[in-house]
Amino acid sequence: MLSQEEIDSVFRKKQPKRDDMALKAQLYDFRRPDRIAKDQLRAIHLLHENFARSLASSLSAYLRAYVAVNLISVEQLAFMEFTQMLPSPTSMVALGMKPYDGSAVLELNPALVFPVLEMLLGGTGQGAQKLEREITEIEQSILDGLLRIILNDLRASWQAVATIEFAIESHETEPQLLQILAPNEAVVAISMEVRIGEMSGIMNLGIPSITVKMLRQKFDQQWSVRKTRATEDEHARVLRLIQPAKLTAESSLRGPTLSVESLLTMKEGDVLAFDYPIERPLDLTLNGIHKFRGEIVGNGRKRAFQVLEPVTEA
């Protein structure tokens, strides 16, 4: 039998030291945004590179000037961090993302907004004066045409992953007053530089990370389609696999419809006209798809189909 002292001694030896427990423990901030996968961020980066190229062409035609759009960064931030990095005042719009819940944020810096407004009103947009004020309602209505072009290209770029209808829900000039997401909620922040001649400004887009996560499977499918390019050997391998497959070949005369009453009154000696000229070639269908034109011929004691021409129309 063990004494109480011996039992306590055994337990003391088994218990880990406080220093060992401190080495194993790791600090965790529960306010930290839930991260999305790196491969998904890489897919978003490629998607918005396409968006930047498309937008550059659209804005060049709209403003009648050379426009270059460059993707600067794609990163995940808390919504509070995203709004803190925006200038004040600025031009911001909350974007609906139908059919998905939640709202995205599109921000245009004053360094970009006011030169564009000047160009839309007939100026050159190269004025040296830098304005740092809120835009007026009249200026906002003029700017709506530019926003429609941006959203149209953004919608087309996301079409490769999912059909999302980006629509303007509200306007705001102070980032801290835009309360569409919780401060600690994560967003994917996309920053782009828009350069028009010697003038340049920043455009920022924030998309809720929870919406991006919901599209994870669609991103994976789109990414796999981009990566898989079939080689000639793979084409030949697929052809060898499908060569033994069987198809149903059918060729028939297309006659008129016949009522049940007429069918019941038919008797021996009656002639049923198919209204199909003898010189017209017959159609050959493979698994129900029209593929060839030809005629019925004799092959010994059997009937056969002689192909005259393939069907080329879609």
Residue boundaries of the structural domains of the chain? 38-227, 246-310
Q: Is the torsion defined by CA of 50, 152, 85, 179 positive or negative?
A: negative
CA distances (Å), origin 310, targets 174, 270, 282: 66, 36, 12
CATH topology of domain 246-310: Surface presentation of antigens (SPOA) (2.30.330)
Q: Tokens 């968006």 — which residue? A: 51
Q: What is the mean pLDDT of residues 223-240?
A: 68
Secondary element (H or E) of residue 102: strand 100-108
The band of 230, judged by pLDDT with boundaries at 50, 70 and 90, is low
Q: What is the mean pLDDT of residues 73-82?
A: 90
CATH topology of domain 38-227: Chemotaxis protein chec (3.40.1550)
Q: Which of 32, 41, 46, 34 lies closest to 215 in space, CA to CA? A: 41
Q: What is the 3-state secondary structure (H, E, C) of 129-151?
A: CCCCCCCCHHHHHHHHHHHHHHH
List pLDDT tens digits, range 33-74. 556 777 788 888 888 999 999 999 999 888 888 899 999 999
For residue 193, give the 3-state DSSP assignment. strand
Secondary element (H or E) of residue 123: none
Rounded to an integer, what distance in angstroms lies between the CA atom of residue 189 and that of residue 204? 7
203: β partners: 108, 192
